[in-house]
Amino acid sequence: MIYDTHTLVHICTRDEWLAARPTGEYRPSSFDEIGFIHLSAPAQAHLPANRLFAGRDDLVLLRIEPSRVGAPIEWEPGVPTDPESMLFPHLYGPLPVQAVTEVVEFRPDPDGTFAPLTAANDGEPG
C-alpha cells in the first residue's frame, strides 16, 4: 500500500476501539483532560508507540480520513524528545467511527519496539 499523505493514524487498544464502535465515536480517556486526540502521520506513528506502548501487543492502528472527522485538526509540537521541528496532528473533537477507514493490528518487533511504518510493511511493524 502506498500511503496517502492525507491519511492520519491513531494508536489505541483493541478493547478501546471495540467499545467506541457502538457509540459512533472514539474518545480516549485523556480527551476530557487535554481536549484533543493525539494523531500521527503514518511515518511518525512509531515515535509515540515506542514512548507510550513499548512491548504491548493489544494495540490497533486506526487509519483516519481527515475530511470525515468534522472537527479541527491542528499540527502542533510533540514532546521535546521528538525530532526537532516535528509537528503532530491533534484532533480537537471526538473521532467519528465513520472517519476510520481501516483498523490493523499494531504489534511491536520481538524486542518490544515499534518500527517505522512503510508501504512495504503496510502498517505491520518489523
Residue-wise pLDDT for 48-75, tens only, equals: 999 999 999 999 999 999 999 999 999 9
Domains recognised in the chain with CATH numbers: 8-106 (3.20.170.20)
More confident residue, 115 or 85: 115
**Closest alpha carbon to 7 in 48, 61, 46:** 61
Backbone angles phi, psi at 89, to 5 degrees: -80, 135
How far apart (Å, rounded) are the C-alpha atoms in residues 46 and 43?
Answer: 7
* pLDDT band at residue 79 under the 50/70/90 scheme: confident
pTM for this predicted structure: 0.86
**Predicted local distance difference test score (pLDDT) of residue 81:** 80
Q: Tell me how far apart the alpha carbons of residues 67 and 70 are, in angstroms, rounded to a whole number.
A: 7
Which helix (H) or strand (E) is 17 found in, with range? helix 14-20
